[in-house]
Chain A
Amino acid sequence: MSAAASVRSAWRWLRELGRLIVGVPSYEAYVTHMRAQHPDATPMTYEQFFENRLEARYGKGRSRCC
């Protein structure tokens, strides 16, 4: 892997981690899953996906660690 490519993959990894830490899983993985498993359904747009995750994470409050 070239240096540029490894920087890019590290950045992608960090971004995925950064999003998941606040409860937003990979959108790409979601779309891939929808295409493969539910080809008839229209996947949510990123914005809808984001709102869906926000509601799922905070809607009922979150028991957080101290």
Chain B
Amino acid sequence: MNGMVSKLGWGAFAIFGAACLGVVALERGESINAIWLVSAAIAVLTIAYRFYSRYIAVTALGLDANRATPAVRRNDGLDFVPTNKWVVYGHHFAAIAGAGPLVGPVLAAQMGYLPGTLWILFGVVLAGAVQDFIILFCSLRRDGRSLGDMIRSELGPVAGAIAMVGILMIMIILLAVLGLVVVKALASTGTQPGSPWGTFTVAMTIPIALLMGLYLKFLRPGRVLEMSIIGFVLLMLSIWLGGVVAEDPVWGPRFSFDGKALAWMMIAYGFVASVIPVWLLLAPRDYLSTFLKIGTILLLALAIFVAAPNLQMPAVTKFIDGSGPVWSGSLFPFLFITIACGAVSGFHALISSGTTPKLVANETEARFIGYGGMLMEAFVAIMALIAACALQPGVYFAMNAPAGIVGTTVESAAQVISSWGFVITPEMLTQTAKEIGEPSILGRAGGAPTLAVGMAQILHGLVSGNGMMAFWYHYAILFEALFILTTIDAGTRVGRFMIQDLLGTVYPPMRHTESWTGNLVATALCVAGWGYFLYQGVVDPLGGVNTLWPLFGIANQMLAAIALVFACVVLIKMKREKYLWIPALPTAWLVICTVTAGWQKLFHENPKIGFLSNAKRFSDSLAKGELLAPAKSVAEMERIVFNQYVDAVLCALFLLVVLSVVVFGLLAALKARRTDQPTAQETPFVALAPSS
């Protein structure tokens, strides 16, 4: 009887979800309310969790409640600690949710809300959450070891080394693209001044973090929460002070910089921040940014649920043909690499095989933490998409289209964007900039500012008042920048150790992580790596985000493909081939997407998409002695050609990495098929002691 009621309940819920999804997918003409989208998302995610994740957990993987997890077996109170599953869930979610699920969907909004929504929902259910869950499961059965380690033991040392190089390349591109997001949010472009308010507020995070670091080290050691509250108050004060500074006729202009200057500051900062002790800057800022991030997500949810904005962006725009101004390339494959975090993100495989498996108290909880945690991230991505689509499309395109396409004045931007069918006047653009306390909103690509304006407008509907829009805008910018600076610092450090490790195989003294020479050389190499791409993005006439985000997307999805290939191999080695389709389906899709996207970025005849054809366009003109806009000299022309080749080489390397891991995966799978015993390298079964 009870089962009957439950079945009826789920049936009714499924019909409700299908109805909401139907409204989202089929509604044309009048704008629809965000609540339809939110309801459809909640229904799809809940049903997927209840049925699909249960099927994977119980039938396909056979999670064993009696098997002791690493946290139980190796409990040391430090790294391995059996922890309440809700606490682990919160920890895991905080670790996977970053700037990615907030930026990708905003960029994808140029194709309308529908393609992004569908990819996030179907992607997460069939690919992203599956990946996070299976990798967590694998790591739980292997003493909480990392993805690279597990690949080495299941696919062989060569595959492991290739995966490591792949991870290093992703780090470099990630740091460059995130740095670019900050630069784009703050820099002046052409005749448009920069953002003194934003720049001042972001700069203030450095002394605040230093102060908090000293506080935590000497004044009140270990009082993290207390310090975070003080830091938060100081950050809010700096937002207010930023407004005062921006108004000031003397100080305001001193905080307005162009992209090149900001890029150099970022590079210098990244170098210094990653060689000084971690307690001084990195740790306190990470605490602040983590709490601020959770706060922002809650705020975004509150805004959307209470204000229930209408979506002004059409369901599908004409830019699905690949002619979009924000990023070039058609819906397939580029939508699927533009939204990575939120649908499927390879980076999560690193988190799921990082600290989380060392905390899980019972193997069966992997379903809730791995699969469920990723569903929550998808929901954040949906909310970011809503915030972007709730904006007037004209404002959205003015902020995200590069100056090379819409010009550098509000008049030219309004004219070009209106000609696309998104009617906007120069006055509306100026008015929006004024409301958020900025001199201009043009050319603020990179997601963060768009999300900030979207959130500011939605929140304004809740708490209105003089200057509230400006406050919310700069709060969102601060959150994004704080988060990104922390990533740059921590990422540079990771890159440095990886480089020391790699160089150490050639020249052993490089391996000494205590040595200052090794430290400085490897840090400089790492900073030079991402700094090069950052600077290239800043001087790129098409705005940089255009080029770098697809490269990053390809890299991230490539990592996901690697993780999923590994998951496939493990299932085969466990002799659970019957369920191979569960990881194989998303693996195939990701390999197809990354290889197609990588191929098009290399060889597409449209110079806006293909690196090589763009290089050829410039070198052909160079041969004829002509200058192509925006280059103003022969040297600039040559630099553009060179950069295109560098991007092409990188893209080819990504392709090589993913294809070779597929080959190694196939070899390992074939070998496993030849024996009739399970060959997965799990740590031996230890029974969970009854009520320990």
Q: Is B287 an interface residue (CB 8 A)?
A: yes
Q: Mark A24-51, 1 if CB is under 8 A from B, else 0.
A: 1110011111100100000000110111
Is A63 part of the binding interface, using a Cβ–Cβ cutoff of 8 Å? yes
Bound CA span A15–B100, Å: 27
Residues 135-183 of B at the A interface (beta carbon under 8 Å) = 167, 171, 174, 178
How many whole Å from A47's CB to the nearest CB in chain B? 4
A22-B286, A65-B100 in contact; A58/B91 too (CB < 8 A)? no
Q: Which residues of B contact A51 (CB under 8 A)?
A: 221-222, 279
Distance in angstroms between the alpha carbons of A22 and B231 in the assembled complex? 15
Which residue of B75, B84, B490 contacts A58 across the interface (Cβ within 8 Å)?
B490
A65 touches B348 (CB 8 A): yes
Measured CB to CB, the nearest residue on chain A to B99 is A66
By the criterion CB–CB under 8 Å, are B497 and A61 in contact? yes
Of A22, A56, A60, A61, which is within 8 A of B224 by CB? A22
| A49 x B178 contact (CB < 8 A) | no
Cβ contacts under 8 Å, A56 to chain B: 78-79
Chain A contact residues, majority secondary structure: helix
**Residues of B111-152 whose CB lies within 8 A of A:** none
Contact: A65 with B97, CB < 8 Å?
yes
Chain A nearest CB: distance from B618 CB in Å?
Answer: 31
In terms of DSSP, what is the predominant structure of the interface of chain B?
helix
Chain A residues near B556 (CB-CB < 8 A) = 66
Tell whether B96 is near chain A: CB-to-CB under 8 Å: yes
Best-buried of A13, A22, A32, A33 by chain B (most CB within 10 Å): A22
- A17-B78 contact in complex given A49-B222, A62-B494, A65-B96, C-beta closer than 8 Å: no
Partner among A19, A31, A33, A58 whose Cβ is within 8 Å of the Cβ of B278:
A58
Total residue contacts A-B, CB cutoff 8 A: 139
Q: Which residue of B lies closest to A19 (CB)?
A: B224
Cα distance A50–B487 when bound, in Å?
22
Number of B residues whose C-beta is below 8 Å from A?
62
- Residue of A19, A32, A52, A57 touching B225 (CB-CB under 8 A): A19
Given contacts A62-B490, A62-B494, contact A21 B100 (CB under 8 A): no
Q: Which of B88, B225, B291 lies in contact with A15, CB distance below 8 A?
A: B225
**Of the candidates B76, B90, B340, which one forms a contact with A20 in the assembled complex, judged by CB atoms under 8 Å apart?**
B90
A64 to B95, CA, bound (A): 7
Interface hub of B167, B341, B345, B491 (most chain A Cβ within 10 A): B491
* In the complex, chain B residues 34-86 whose Cβ is within 8 Å of any chain A Cβ: 75-79, 81, 83-84, 86
**In the complex the two chains form, what is the Cα distance from A60 to B552 in whole Å?**
23
The one of A19, A24, A33, A65 in contact with B76, judged by C-beta atoms closer than 8 angstroms, is A33
Closest 10 CB pairs of A and B: A61-B493, A50-B222, A30-B77, A66-B100, A61-B494, A33-B77, A58-B278, A47-B221, A65-B98, A21-B94
Residues of B whose CB lies within 8 Å of any CB of A are 75-79, 81, 83-84, 86-88, 90-91, 94-100, 103, 167, 171, 174, 178, 221-222, 224-225, 228, 274, 278-279, 282-283, 286-287, 290-291, 294, 340-341, 345, 347-348, 350-351, 354-355, 359, 486-487, 490-497, 552, 556
14 further A-B contacts with Cβ under 8 Å, apart from A21-B94, A61-B495, are: A13-B84, A13-B86, A17-B91, A19-B224, A30-B77, A33-B77, A54-B279, A56-B79, A61-B490, A61-B496, A65-B96, A66-B340, A66-B341, A66-B556
Q: List 15 A-B contacts (CB under 8 A).
A: A13-B86, A17-B87, A21-B90, A25-B78, A29-B83, A33-B75, A49-B78, A56-B79, A58-B286, A60-B493, A61-B491, A61-B492, A62-B493, A65-B96, A65-B97
